[in-house]
A and B are shown apart, each in its own frame.
Chain A
Amino acid sequence: MNIHLKLNGKDTDLVVIQDESLLTALRRAGVWSVKHGCETGECGACSVLMDGKLVPTCVMLAPQADGHEIETVEGMSEINTIHPIQKAFTEMGAVQCGFCTPAMILSTKALINKEMYPTLADARDALSSTICRCTGYIKPVEAIMRAAAMLRGEEVPPIDGGGIPMEIAFGLAGESDLGRDLPDFIKGGSDSEVKTKKDVKIAPWVTPEAQTDVVGHPEIKVDAVKLAKGKPAFTDDINLPGMLYAEMLTSPHAHARIRNIDTSAAKALQGVHAVLTYKDIPRVIYASGGQSWPNPKPWDQVSLDNKVRHVGDRVAVVAAETPEIARQAIKLINVDYEVLPFVLDPRDAGKPGAPVIHDEKDAVGIPDASRNLVNIVDAAWGDVDKVFAECDRIFENTYYTPKQQQGHIEPHITITYWDEDERLVVRTSTQVPFHARRMLAPLIGLPVKRIRVIKPRIGGGFGGKQEMLIEDLAAHLTLATNRPVRLEYTREQEFTSSRSRHPMFTTFKVGVMNDGTIRALDMKVISDTGAYGTHSLTVASVSGLRGLSTYKADALRFHADIFYTNKTPAGAFRGYGAPQGMFGLEVIIDEIAHSLGFDPVEFRRKNAVKEGDHIPISTALGEGGTIEQYVLSCGLQECFDQASKSIQWERRNDPKWRVDPERPHIRRGLGVATCMHGTAIPGLDMGGATIKMNDDGSFNVQVGATDLGTGSDTVIAQIIAETLGCRLEDIIIYSSDTDMTPFDVGAYASSTTFISGGSAKKAAEIVRRQIIDRAAMMLETTTEGMYLRHRQAFAADGRSVSLEAVALNSLHTVDQHQIMGTASFMSNYAPPPFGAQFVEVEVDTETGMVRVPRMVMAVDCGTSINPVTTTGQIEGGQLQALGMAIAEAMEYDHQGNVLQKRFGDYRIYEADEAPEITAILVPTYEPSGPYGAKAVAEIPMDGVAPAVSNAIFDAIGVRIREMPALPERVWKGLQEK
C-alpha cells in the first residue's frame, strides 16, 4: 500500500507492506540512521520523531505513519554542516559505538524544542528510551546540556586541554621509540633492576613545560561525526541487488537427537532459495571462539548437527526472497526429535548418571566427555599446604557470579556475497575479522585467500562478537544460492542462541596472619560453559590469573573444573573471567578485613601488589602460555586516595548518614574493591599497522585493529599524529578489512591501545625516520637533533620544512620514494592497570531492594591517550558491571528455556535510573606501552559487584555472596540474619 508522509521536511510517498514495521519501511527507503536493536521498542535504537515526539518504530506498523511528519537525524544536517546537537555529542564524547546515537540526538532535539533550559532530570528522562550499553549515559547527558546551551546562543567552553609532558612522551633525549624505558630484564637483558629513566643528552625541544599536541588530548573521535549524522556505517546499512534473507530454525528442546528433518515443504515454498540442515553441508569440527591459531580446545561444534544441546541451538537455516517468506519456510520444516535427558546445573553435570552432552566421536580435546568435563585447569606456586599450616587464621567461602548477557544493541549480523573475482566477501559485525576469516575457511571449503572479511562500524560487542557465530551459516547459504545473503539475529536469539558470561562458583580459601598479612590463597572454580566449550579454558584461566595476582602471598593455588550444561553457551564477555574471580576475591578480602578489625581500604593497601613486584602466578598460569610478569607501573595507592576522597569514605562511620530519618527502613553503606586487570595476552596478541604519506602531508593508515565503539581508531590515530608531528585530522584511518589492512588479533583482552597502538607507534617511528631523512636532505643538514612538530620537520638549528613539502619532494622531485612504514607489535609483557572501585548503596530493610546512588572508580591506566574516550570506558563499564551486581542474570526454567528473551525482562539500567558515576584518571607511565599507556577497557568490570556486596554488608550486616543482589536475595539474607 502507499502511504504519504512528510519525511525530514519533504513530502514523501512510500510503498509499504501493511504489516511491516515502520523501521523496516524507513530503512528500505534508505533512512539508515534508524537502527534495529530489538523488536519490542525497548532499546529505542529505532526511534524517530513523529510529529515532534520520540517514538520507537519497530513496534509501529508502517501505515501508522501515514499522514504524519517523521524526522530522523538525516534531516538535521547536510554535507559539510553539522547540527549543534550533533556537534555537542561529538565534542562531549557521547558517541561510543554510535549505534544508538541517532536516537539519542533525536531525543535531545525533542527535549530542547520543548524546553530550552532542560534540567539534568529532563536530560535523563529524554535519554531513558534509548538503552546505551557503552557510555553509562554520563557523556550523553553532558552533551544534552551543552547542546541546549549552544542552541540558546550561549558560549560553551572549548573542549581542549590535556596533553602529557613531552619529557614523558619522547624522553629527555627526544626519542620516540616504543619501549625505550623498559628495564633490561624485560627487554631480554640480564639486569633485573627496574629503571624508568636514563642518563641522556636532553633535547632542546623537550622543555619541562612542553606538552604533547595530540596524545593526552580530548580529541573528537575520528568516526564521531558520521555516527552522529547517522551515515550508513554499520554492517546492515547496505542494500545489495538480489540479496536473500536468512532465518534460523532453532531447537525447542534442551537436549535432543534429530532423527530426521523433512525440508520438502519449506523448499517448495515460492521464494525459498535454500534450506540447509546437517544433511546438506560437510561435517567439520571447530570451536567458535575468535582466538589465535590453533584455537583452544575443545573443538566441539559443527555448523549444523544432528543433535541439539540447548534450547536455541541451530537446526536448519533458510534463505528466501523476503524475511517473511524465510520465516514462513522455517515453520514448514518438520523435525523428528528424540528428546534426551538434560542437565542445567554444572554441579550436577559431572555426577554419575548425568546425560552426556557431547557423545559425538569426532569432538576433539574434551578431557572427559562422559562426565561433561570440558576442561580442567591447575596451577600452583609455592607450598600452599605448608603455608596454610603456618597461618593464624584461615577464611573460606564460596561465591557465585551469574550468566550475564553482553546486550550489545546491534545484534549479530552478517552479509555474505561473491565479489567480481568470485571471492567470498563477509561483511560482518565482528570483533575478530582475521580470526573469523581463518576459522570460516575450513567450514565452507574455501581457502583463506578466497575470503575477504570486512568489519564496518560495530554497534557494541563486549566480547559477544569475539565469536565466529553466524558467519558460517550466511556463507553456506551464499555458496548454496550464489546470491548475497543477510543473516541477522533477533533480540530473542541474542538470549537463546548467542553467548554470555560464564557463570561460576568460586571458592576462596585465604590464610592470613593476625597482623593482617595475607600468606596463602587457594581458589577453586566450577564454571558453566553451557552447551559448547568456546572460550571456556581461557576464561577460567583468567579468573585464576586475576584472582591470584592482586595480593601478595607466599603460596598460591588454582583449580578449575569446567562443565557442559544444556544451556546457551557462554563465551567471551568484557572482563573475561576477571569479574568472576575478582568478585569472590574482593568479598572474602572484605570479610577478612572486618574479621581482623581492619578498615577495608587499609587492609587492601597493606596487601596489594606494588610497583616492582613480581606476579608469581604468571609462572604457572596464563592465557597464551606462561610468561613471567612484573608490575612496572602502579598507581593503586593514589587510586585509593582519590576515590575514597571522592566517595567520602569516612561517612560510613557517621551514624547520622547511615540512617535516613525520613525513610526509616533505609540503611546506607559504602563498599570498596581493588581492581587489577591485564593488558593483552602476553606472547600471543599481535597487531599490525601500515602508514603512507600523501602529497599534502596527510597520512593514510591501515590497521587490523577492530574499533567496536571504544575509540581505538581515534587513539591509534592520536598516537600516529603525535609521533609524526601532525594534527589528528591529517590521519585518515581505515581498519579491519582482511584484504586491505595488516593482521590484528582483534578487539579483546584489553589489548588494542597497547598492542595495536604499539604497532601504530612502531610504524609511525619508521615513517618519522624517513621524513626526517628527507627533510635533512632538503635542508642540507644532518638528521641529528631533528624532530617533527606542528606539521613541520625542524632541524637542530631551528630551520624547518613543512610535511607537505617533504611529501611533495619525496613523491615528485628527486630520488622519488613513497614515505611509508609497516610494523607489527607483540609483547611478552602484559602491564596490569589498577583501580579502586567505591560504591554507595541504600538498602531497603523491609523489601531487600538495593539502590545505588553513586559509584566512583579511580583508574591507573598509565597514560590516557584520550581522556574523554578513557573516562567514557570507565563510566560505561561501571554501569555494565552494576547490571551484573543488581539485575542482570539469565535464568532458566526447568525445561531449559531462558526466561528473559527481551530487554525489560532482562534488565539493563536506563538513563533515568542509572547512578551518578565518577571516573578518575590516575596517570602513571607504563614503560612498555605506547606513550606510557596500558589498558582500560575491561578493568571497570572488575570491582563493582564486590563493592556492591561489600556496601550492602556495610549497610545491613548481611553478606551477599551470590550476584545479582536481587531484592528477594537480600531480603532472605535479612531474614536469616
Chain B
Amino acid sequence: MKEFHRPDNWSKAHQLLKRSDLHTVPLSVSPRPTALNDLIADAFVDLEKLHLNFIKPGDDGSVHIGALTTLQDIYLSELIKSQAGGVLNEAAYFSATLGLRNLANLAGAITNPENPPDIPLVLMAFDAVVTIQKDESQTRQVSLQEWMKDCTKVLLPGEAILEVSFPAQTQASGALVRVNRTPRDKAIVAAAAVLQVADGVCAKAMVTLAGCNPAPVRLQAVEALLIGQSLTTELFNQSGSIAEQQAQPVADYRGSVSYRKAMASVLTRRAIQQARQALK
C-alpha cells in the first residue's frame, strides 16, 4: 500500500520528500492522468495546504503561477488573458476537458511527457522559468525550455515545484495552432508564436514547436530570422522551412516522420502569421 501525506508546512513536506527508503513524490495531476494503479511511487505528498494555487503579478510585472494552480483557474484568469492575447488561456482550455481542468494543475502539466503539449509550448514561448523548492528555505530555477528536454528527470529527490513564472507579455501577441484528429484531441503537431512589433519591425519573437522532435523545442533560428525584420510572407515561409529542416520527429500511429516534418513547416508559418495578424 502506498502512503498518503498532506503536510501543512514546507518543513514537513521536505522531510517526507527527501526520504531515501521510500520513493516519495509530490502529488500532482496531469491533464492526461496516469491511472492510480500505474503511478510509480511508494508515497505521495499532497501539497494542498502549502498555498500553491495562485496566479499573481510580480513587482516587475512578471506573472507567477503556483504549481497547484488548476488548469481551469489558468483558463479563467483575467491576468493570463492579458498576456499575449490570452494564448495561455487557450492552451489550458485545449489541454483537458472541464473536469480534468478542475483537477489537473500546472505542475502536472509540465511533468508528464505524454501530456498535451499546449501549456508547456506556450509557456516556453513566454520564456518561462520553473522555480523549485529545494528544501525548507532554498529554491532553484530552471528555464522551462531546459525542463522540457526531459521533464521527468529535472526534479530531484526532496524537491517540489513551487511555481512557474514568466516576463510580462502584455505588449505581445500570441498564437497557438494545432493539427489533430478532432478539435480537442491532443495535437499531433502544435506550434506557438509570441511576437512583439515596434515601428513595424519585429522586436521580439518566441516560437515553439511540439510533435516534430522528441520533446517540444524553441525554434531559436526562426526567432533570429524574425527579430529586427519587417514581418513578410516570405519570412513566414522561410520560418516554416527552417522548422521543417530542424525537425527530427518520432513517428507514431497519428503521424509519420514525413507528415510531421511537413506540418512543422505549415504550423510554424501559421503560428507566426496568426500572431502577426493578432497584433493588428
Give the contacts of A43-92 with B (CB-CB under 8 A).
44, 47, 50, 53-56, 58-61, 63-64, 66
Given A39-B36, A904-B186, answer yes or no on A53-B1 (Cβ-Cβ < 8 Å). no
Contact B2 A64 (CB under 8 A): no
Query: Does B32 touch A at the CB level, under 8 Å?
Result: yes
Smallest Cβ-Cβ distance to B103: which chain A residue: A55
By a CB distance below 8 angstroms, the chain A residues around B256 are 968
Contact B180 A60 (CB under 8 A): no
By a CB distance below 8 angstroms, the chain B residues around A397 are none
| Interface-side segment among A347-355, A462-470, A793-801, A908-916 | A908-916
| Cβ proximity bits A873-914 to B, threshold 8 Å, 1 near / 0 not | 000000000000011000100000001100010010110110
**What are 11 A-B pairs at a CB distance below 8 A?**
A17-B1, A19-B1, A56-B100, A64-B27, A64-B46, A886-B181, A964-B181, A967-B181, A967-B188, A968-B188, A968-B259
| Cβ proximity bits A131-155 to B, threshold 8 Å, 1 near / 0 not | 0000000000000000000000000
Contact B1 A18 (CB under 8 A): yes
Query: Does A107 touch B at the CB level, under 8 Å?
Result: yes
Give the contacts of B247-280 with A (CB-CB under 8 A).
252-256, 259, 262-263, 266-267, 270
Given A61-B27, A971-B259, answer yes or no on A849-B180 (Cβ-Cβ < 8 Å). yes
Contact A849 B100 (CB under 8 A): no
Q: How many residues of B contact A (CB 8 A)?
A: 43
By a CB distance below 8 angstroms, the chain A residues around B72 are 53
Smallest Cβ-Cβ distance to B44: which chain A residue: A61
By a CB distance below 8 angstroms, the chain B residues around A847 are 179, 263, 266-267
Contact A60 B103 (CB under 8 A): yes
Smallest Cβ-Cβ distance to A22: which chain B residue: B36
Query: Does A600 touch B at the CB level, under 8 Å?
Result: no
Smallest Cβ-Cβ distance to B253: which chain A residue: A891
Contact A41 B33 (CB under 8 A): yes
Give the contacts of A843-882 with B (CB-CB under 8 A).
844, 846-849, 851
Query: Does B230 touch A at the CB level, under 8 Å?
Result: no
Give the contacts of B141-191 with A (CB-CB under 8 A).
179-186, 188
Provide the bound-state CA to CA distance between A47 and B99, in Å: 7
Query: Does B6 touch A at the CB level, under 8 Å?
Result: yes
By a CB distance below 8 angstroms, the chain B residues around A964 are 181
Query: Does B9 touch A at the CB level, under 8 Å?
Result: no
Provide the bound-state CA to CA distance between A39 and B188, in Å: 23
Provide the bound-state CA to CA distance between A17 and B2, in Å: 9
Query: Does B221 touch A at the CB level, under 8 Å?
Result: no
Contact B98 A125 (CB under 8 A): yes
Q: Output the least CB separation between B167 and chain A (Å).
A: 31
Give the contacts of B1-19 with A (CB-CB under 8 A).
1-4, 6
Contact B98 A54 (CB under 8 A): yes
Contact A53 B102 (CB under 8 A): yes
Provide the bound-state CA to CA distance between A53 and B103, in Å: 9
Provide the bound-state CA to CA distance between A904 and B104, in Å: 15
By a CB distance below 8 angstroms, the chain A residues around B33 are 40-42, 59
Query: Does A745 touch B at the CB level, under 8 Å?
Result: no
By a CB distance below 8 angstroms, the chain B residues around A448 are none
Q: Output the least CB separation between B41 and chain A (Å).
A: 9
| Cβ proximity bits A612-641 to B, threshold 8 Å, 1 near / 0 not | 000000000000000000000000000000
Query: Does A370 touch B at the CB level, under 8 Å?
Result: no
Query: Does B198 touch A at the CB level, under 8 Å?
Result: no
By a CB distance below 8 angstroms, the chain B residues around A130 are 99
Q: Output the least CB separation between A335 and chain B (Å).
A: 21
By a CB distance below 8 angstroms, the chain B residues around A17 are 1
Give the contacts of A758-781 with B (CB-CB under 8 A).
none
Query: Does B129 touch A at the CB level, under 8 Å?
Result: no
By a CB distance below 8 angstroms, the chain B residues around A324 are 1
Query: Does B139 touch A at the CB level, under 8 Å?
Result: no
By a CB distance below 8 angstroms, the chain B residues around A848 are 179
Query: Does B245 touch A at the CB level, under 8 Å?
Result: no
Partner of B35, one of A39, A129, A900: A39
Query: Does B220 touch A at the CB level, under 8 Å?
Result: no
Given A18-B4, A56-B103, A128-B184, answer yes or no on A849-B179 (Cβ-Cβ < 8 Å). yes
Partner of B98, one of A42, A126, A904: A126
Give the contacts of B85-109 with A (CB-CB under 8 A).
97-100, 102-103
Partner of B181, one of A18, A125, A966: A966
Contact B36 A61 (CB under 8 A): yes
Smallest Cβ-Cβ distance to B39: which chain A residue: A19
Contact B103 A41 (CB under 8 A): yes
Smallest Cβ-Cβ distance to B252: which chain A residue: A899
Kindly list the 9 A-B residue pairs having the minimum CB-CB distance in the complex, ordered from nearest: A129-B99, A39-B35, A19-B2, A887-B181, A59-B33, A891-B253, A128-B97, A913-B183, A18-B4
Contact B6 A63 (CB under 8 A): yes
Given A904-B186, A968-B259, answer yes or no on A58-B99 (Cβ-Cβ < 8 Å). no
Query: Does A814 touch B at the CB level, under 8 Å?
Result: no
By a CB distance below 8 angstroms, the chain B residues around A107 are 98-99
Query: Does A21 touch B at the CB level, under 8 Å?
Result: yes
Query: Does B37 touch A at the CB level, under 8 Å?
Result: yes
Q: Known pairs A129-B100, A324-B1. 6 more at Cβ < 8 A?
A: A54-B102, A61-B4, A907-B185, A913-B184, A966-B181, A967-B180
Query: Does A327 touch B at the CB level, under 8 Å?
Result: yes
Smallest Cβ-Cβ distance to A103: which chain B residue: B99
By a CB distance below 8 angstroms, the chain A residues around B259 are 967-968, 971-972
Contact A887 B182 (CB under 8 A): yes
Query: Does A156 touch B at the CB level, under 8 Å?
Result: no
Q: Output the least CB separation between B233 and chain A (Å).
A: 12
Q: Output the least CB separation between A960 and chain B (Å).
A: 14
Q: Output the least CB separation between A882 and chain B (Å).
A: 9
Give the contacts of A488-539 with B (CB-CB under 8 A).
none
Query: Does A1 touch B at the CB level, under 8 Å?
Result: yes
Q: Output the least CB separation between A485 and chain B (Å).
A: 20
Smallest Cβ-Cβ distance to A52: which chain B residue: B102
Query: Does B29 touch A at the CB level, under 8 Å?
Result: yes
Smallest Cβ-Cβ distance to B35: which chain A residue: A39
Provide the bound-state CA to CA distance between A851 and B29, in Å: 30
Which of A50, A60, A324, A968 is packed against the most chain B CB atoms within 10 Å? Answer: A968
By a CB distance below 8 angstroms, the chain B residues around A849 are 179-180
Contact A59 B44 (CB under 8 A): no
By a CB distance below 8 angstroms, the chain A residues around B229 are none
Contact B266 A846 (CB under 8 A): yes
Contact A39 B263 (CB under 8 A): no
| Cβ proximity bits A1-31 to B, threshold 8 Å, 1 near / 0 not | 1000000000000000111110000000000
Query: Does B34 touch A at the CB level, under 8 Å?
Result: yes
Q: Output the least CB separation between A441 and chain B (Å).
A: 35
Provide the bound-state CA to CA distance between A20 and B266, in Å: 45
Contact A851 B183 (CB under 8 A): yes
Contact B2 A41 (CB under 8 A): no
By a CB distance below 8 angstroms, the chain B residues around A904 are 32, 186
Provide the bound-state CA to CA distance between A26 and B34, in Å: 20
By a CB distance below 8 angstroms, the chain B residues around A125 are 98
Smallest Cβ-Cβ distance to A59: which chain B residue: B33
Provide the bound-state CA to CA distance between A58 and B37, in Å: 10
Smallest Cβ-Cβ distance to A975: which chain B residue: B262
Q: Output the least CB separation between A903 and chain B (Å).
A: 10
Contact B184 A21 (CB under 8 A): no
By a CB distance below 8 angstroms, the chain A residues around B179 are 844, 847-849, 967
Contact A44 B46 (CB under 8 A): no
Smallest Cβ-Cβ distance to A490: which chain B residue: B35
By a CB distance below 8 angstroms, the chain B residues around A54 are 98-99, 102
Contact B36 A44 (CB under 8 A): no
By a CB distance below 8 angstroms, the chain A residues around B4 are 1, 18-19, 61, 63-64
Provide the bound-state CA to CA distance between A848 and B3, in Å: 48
Contact A909 B36 (CB under 8 A): no
Smallest Cβ-Cβ distance to A18: which chain B residue: B4
| Cβ proximity bits A660-694 to B, threshold 8 Å, 1 near / 0 not | 00000000000000000000000000000000000
Contact A41 B181 (CB under 8 A): no
Q: Output the least CB separation between A860 and chain B (Å).
A: 30
Give the contacts of A697-749 with B (CB-CB under 8 A).
none
By a CB distance below 8 angstroms, the chain A residues around B184 are 128, 910, 912-913
Q: Output the least CB separation between A420 and chain B (Å).
A: 36
